[in-house]
Amino acid sequence: MARSTHSAPKEGSKDRLGPVPGEPASYEQALSELDQLVEQMEQGQLPLDRLLDDYKRGAELLAYCRGRLEAVETQVKLLEEGRLKPWTGT
């Protein structure tokens, strides 16, 4: 039976026990790794197996980043008393 290495981001996974193996330590680390993967893939010099592995890792990192952003958005909603204000930054 094949074992999946995909780990869905879990809220609070860094509490007490530390990060899940393979999970980035922070949003910034995940974003940096994702940027590096995209850059390598865009060069078009990777073997097919490596390309597929990197694509899978990129999907995991993207899911992690989205999960962290959703968690922050939820916290902001709580801080704003349930009213999320629209982003007005440029």
The 10s digit of each residue's pLDDT in 10-27 is 444 444 455 567 889 999
- Longest Cα–Cα distance in the chain: 51
Domain residue ranges in the chain: 27-79
DSSP 3: P
Structure confidence by residue, pLDDT tens digits, 57-76: 999 999 999 999 999 988 88
Backbone angles phi, psi at 17, to 5 degrees: -90, -10
pLDDT the model gives residue 90:
53
